[in-house]
Structure 1
C-alpha cells in the first residue's frame, strides 16, 4: 500500500507543476482518485495519503464500498454514465454527479432530490470530441440545456465534464480540454441565473497534466495511482 501512497505524491507533484506552468494556483485543482475495481484496502491507502475525493463509475460498486469507508468521510463522485433507475441509489452516497447529459436524467434527479429534501450538485457532460462512442451533450445543445436545468430548484449545475479520445499522446487531448474551457467561459458570459460553472472535470491518468494546463479543477485519476487493473 506504500506504493499507492507514493503514487499519490507523484501525481500531486505533477499537478502542482502543471498548474504552475499555466500560472495557476495548484490549490485550485482537486485530485479525484478513481476507485473502479479497487478494494477497500487500496482505497484506504489513498485516504491515508490525504486524498478526500473518490470517484466511482458504477452505482453498484459505489454502494458496495462506501459503507466500509463512511468513518473516513470521503467525498464520493459518480463519474460514470448514470441510468435513471439508479439515481435513487447513487444519491445515497454521491455528492457530485459528473454525467448529467439528458432531460430524462435531469427529471429523475429532480424527483429524487425533492424526495430527499436536498438539492443535487451536478456537472453537465459535454461530448466535445463528437465521438459516437462517448456520452454527453453536443456543444450546440449546452446553452438550452443549462437554461432548462436553471429552472429546476433541486439540481444545481456546478460545472462541465468531458472525456478526451483515447491516445498515447497526451497532447492529442489538449484541443478538447481547451474547447471545454472555452464553452465554460462562453456560458458564464451569458449569466444564466442559478447556473454555477466553477468546475471543469477533465483529464485522466494519461493526460491529466495537459488538462490542468487547460483549466481543469477536477482530474479523475485511477491507473496512475493504483497501477494497471488486473
Structure 2
C-alpha cells in the first residue's frame, strides 16, 4: 500500500477510474466517502487538506467527540452505522446525512427531533441484501411500502439506498448483493420515488465490483486511512 495519504487516495481513484472504464461508466458518477471511524482528528484534518470534506462514521458518539476538534473546517459527517433510536436526537443535530435508516421507529424519532430543530435530513434506506444475521436493514420486499410510509415524516429526504454485501471471497455472491440493490432502486424509481437515485455500496474489499454493478458511492476506510488498530 502506498505510504502517504495522498498516494493512497490517488491509488483508490485510479482503481475507481479503471472499474468505470471496464463497465463503460463515467468516473464523475462515483463519489468516494472516506470512512474515518476509529481514526482520530489529526488524520481527518490531513484528509481535509487533501480535498475531502464528507466523512463516514459508524457511531454518533465518535462524531460528537471529533467534531469540536475540527470545527474550524468545513466538514459534513455522514452516519453509516446502525443507529439506535435513542441516539436519533444526537444524530439529527450532528450529522448531515444518515445512510442507515432501516425502520419506522427511527424515522419517527429523527423526524420529531428535526422538526424541533427546524431542519431536514438526507437519508438513505439500508436494505439487507445479505443472508448474514449480523447485517441490519429492511427486507427487500418491504422497501416500497417503507418509502410510502416515509411520506409521513416530511423532515426526512430519501435520496437513495445503502447495503453491505455478504462478507465473502465469492465474487458472484458479493455481486448479487449489489445487483439486488440496484434492481430495488430501479423498481422504487419506477414506482414514483424519483428522489431515490443514489446507491451507497462497496467498501475497501469489494468497491470495484460494486461500481461495476451500479454503485454511485463507495465507502472506503482502511484502504485510504491505513489499517485500524
TM range (shorter): over 0.9
Give deviations 1:29-88, integer Å, cap 9, x for gaps.
Answer: 111111111011111121122122200001110111122222221221100001111111
Tell me, in whole angstroms, the C-alpha distance in 1 between the residues paired with 2:47 and 2:213. 26
Shift of 1:171: 5.0
Q: How does 1:1-230 map to 2 (within 5 A)?
A: 3-170=4-171, 172-192=173-193, 196-230=195-229
Label 1:131 to 1:2 Cα distance change in 2 as closer, same or farther (>3 A).
closer
**What is the TM-score when the length of structure 2 is the normalising length?**
0.94
Does structure 1 retain, via aligned residues, the 8 Å contact 2:189–2:197?
no
Alignment size in residue pairs: 228
* Cα RMSD after superposing both structures: 1.6
Report the secondary structure of 2:154's partner residue: coil
Tell me, in whole angstroms, the C-alpha distance in 1 between the residues paired with 2:171 and 2:13. 17
Task: Judge which range, 69-78 or 154-163, deviates more.
Answer: 69-78
Q: Which runs of 5+ in 1 are unaligned?
A: none
Deviating 4+ runs (over 4 angstroms) = none
Q: Which runs of 5+ in 2 are unaligned?
A: none
Does structure 2 retain, via aligned residues, the 8 Å contact 1:200–1:215?
yes
Tell me, in whole angstroms, the C-alpha distance in 2 between the residues paired with 1:17 and 1:53. 23
Report the secondary structure of 2:100's partner residue: strand
Label 1:143 to 1:33 Cα distance change in 2 as closer, same or farther (>3 A).
same
